C-alpha cells in the first residue's frame, strides 16, 4: 500500500486514518485493541483522536481514547511506525478549553502522558477560538516544536476566511503555519470543503484528512428509514440525511459497490480518497470486520465512470 505525503510535512501516511472517537465509548479496551491490531496489520499507520474523546459517554471524563491508544502502542511496541493525530481545545472541564498558549502548553503535557509518548506527530486546533489570536496559538505551537513535544500543527473546522487569516498571520510573523486541515467532507456533505477550502489547500500545499467521511455512518447503507436509526448510538445524527438526495446517493453507492463486489462504505471512502487534494479520510471501526473493511477501502480503485456516477448522485 503506497503512502501519501501529508502536505509539506515529512509525514507519509497510508490513504486511510483510523478514527479514535469510539475508543472508550462504543468500543471497550479489548475491542479497541483488536481493532487497532487489525488496522495496523494492513500497513495502515495513522490514528486520529482528541483529548476530549469520549467525554460524552456515561462515566467518562475525557482522555479515554488517548489512554487506550497509548496503552496499545506500549503493549505492541510500535510507537515509531504509527502517526498520531491529536486535536486540542474542546472542553475538558472548568477552565480547560480553547487555544490560548497557557492552555495548549498544559494540555499537550496531559496528552503526552496519556499516550505514553514523548512527542505528538500532528497537533490540531480542534475548533476556532475567536477569543485567542492566531499569533498566540501558532506561537505556542512553535515553542512546542522547538521543545520536540509536537512535530507539526494543523487545524480542524476552519472556514475559508479563517484559514486564509491563519496563513496570513503565519507569513507575517514568521510562525509555523497550519500544515494540515481536517474538514468535514463526504458524499453527502460536500459544499463546505469544495466551496473554497479545497482550492486553498491545493494552492498552499496543505494536507487534508477528512472527518465524518461516512456521514456519521449513513453512507454505510445501514440507515435507510427512521426505524433504522435505533441500530446505533450514533443513529440520531443521520436523520437529516433521510431525504430524496440521500436515498439517491445510497442507490448510486449500491450500484458501484455491486460492480466491485465491495461494501457501500468502502466505495464511499474510496470516493473521498480519489478526490483531488485529499490526503486521506478518517473513519472509525468498532469491530475487527469493520477495520478490515477500512483496509479494503484504501485499496479500492474507482473508475472515472464510478466517480462520475457518485458525483452526479450527490450533486446539489
* 29 domain residue, yes or no: yes
Helix (H), strand (E) at residue 281:
strand 280-284
Question: What are the angstrom distances between the C-alpha of 42 and each of 6, 16, 22, 72, 288?
Answer: 19, 11, 20, 16, 12
At which residue does the C-alpha cell 486553498 appear? Answer: 200
* 159 domain residue, yes or no: yes
Burial of 316 (0-12, 13-18, 19+ CB in 10 A): exposed
Annotate 17-65 with DSSP letters as a single string: EEE-TTBTTTB-HHHHHHHHHHHHHTT--EEEEETTTTTTSTT--S-HH
Residue 12's pLDDT is 97
* 249 domain residue, yes or no: no
Cis omega (within 30 of 0) for bond into 158: no
Residue 316's pLDDT is 80
Domain boundaries, position 125: 4-220+264-301
* 231 domain residue, yes or no: no
* 193 domain residue, yes or no: yes
Residue 154's pLDDT is 98
CA R_g for the chain: 19
Residue 95's pLDDT is 87
* 246 domain residue, yes or no: no
* 282 domain residue, yes or no: yes
Task: Give pLDDT tens digits for 123-137.
Answer: 999 999 999 999 999
Distance between CA atoms of residues 302 and 134, nearest Å: 39
CATH of the domain at 134: 3.20.20.100
Residue 230's pLDDT is 82
Total tally of structural domains belonging to the chain: 1
Distance between CA atoms of residues 207 and 38, nearest Å: 25
Residue 1's pLDDT is 80
pLDDT by position in tens, the chain (length 316): 889 999 999 999 999 999 999 999 999 999 999 999 999 999 999 999 999 999 999 999 999 999 999 999 999 999 999 999 999 999 998 889 999 999 999 999 999 999 999 999 999 999 999 999 999 999 999 999 999 999 999 999 999 999 999 999 999 999 999 999 999 999 999 999 999 999 999 999 999 999 999 999 999 999 988 888 887 766 778 999 999 999 999 999 999 999 999 999 999 999 999 999 999 999 999 999 999 999 999 999 999 999 999 999 999 8
The whole model's pTM is what? 0.96
* 242 domain residue, yes or no: no
Amino acid at each position: 500500500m503506497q503512502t501519501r505525503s501529508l502536505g509539506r510535512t515529512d509525514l507519509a501516511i497510508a490513504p486511510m486514518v483510523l478514527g479514535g472517537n469510539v475508543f472508550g465509548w462504543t468500543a471497550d479496551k479489548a475491542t479497541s485493541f483488536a481493532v487497532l491490531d487489525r488496522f495496523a496489520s494492513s500497513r495502515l499507520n495513522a490514528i486520529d483522536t482528541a483529548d476530549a474523546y469520549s467525554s460524552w459517554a456515561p462515566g467518562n471524563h475525557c482522555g479515554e481514547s488517548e489512554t487506550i491508544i497509548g496503552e496499545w502502542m506500549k503493549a505492541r511496541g510500535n510507537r515509531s511506525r504509527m502517526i498520531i493525530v491529536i486535536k486540542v481545545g474542546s472542553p475538558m472541564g472548568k477552565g480547560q478549553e480553547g487555544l490560548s498558549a497557557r492552555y495548549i502548553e498544559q494540555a499537550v503535557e496531559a496528552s503526552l502522558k496519556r499516550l505514553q509518548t514523548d512527542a505528538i506527530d500532528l497537533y490540531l486546533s480542534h475548533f476556532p477560538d475567536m477569543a485567542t489570536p492566531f499569533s498566540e496559538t501558532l506561537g505556542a505551537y512553535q515553542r512546542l516544536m522547538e521543545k520536540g513535544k509536537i512535530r507539526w500543527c494543523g487545524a480542524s473546522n476552519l472556514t475559508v476566511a479563517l484559514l486564509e487569516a491563519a496563513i496570513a498571520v503565519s507569513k507575517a510573523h514568521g510562525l509555523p503555519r497550519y500544515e494540515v486541515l481536517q474538514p468535514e467532507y463526504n458524499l453527502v456533505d460536500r459544499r463546505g470543503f469544495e466551496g473554497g477550502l479545497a482550492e486553498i489547500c491545493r494552492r498552499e500545499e496543505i494536507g487534508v484528512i477528512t472527518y465524518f467521511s461516512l456521514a456519521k455512518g449513513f453512507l454505510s447503507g445501514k440507515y435507510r428509514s427512521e426505524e433504522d436509526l435505533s441500530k446505533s448510538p450514533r443513529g440520531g445524527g443521520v436523520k437529516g440525511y433521510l431525504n430524496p438526495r440521500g436515498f439517491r446517493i445510497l442507490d448510486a453507492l449500491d450500484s458501484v459497490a455491486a460492480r466491485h463486489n465491495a461494501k457501500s462504505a468502502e466505495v464511499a471512502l474510496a470516493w473521498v480518497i480519489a478526490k483531488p487534494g485529499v490526503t486521506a479520510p478518517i473513519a472509525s471501526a468498532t469491530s475487527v470486520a469493520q477495520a478490515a473493511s477500512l483496509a479494503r477501502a484504501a485499496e479500492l480503485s474507482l473508475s472515472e465512470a464510478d466517480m462520475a456516477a457518485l458525483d452526479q448522485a450527490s450533486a446539489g
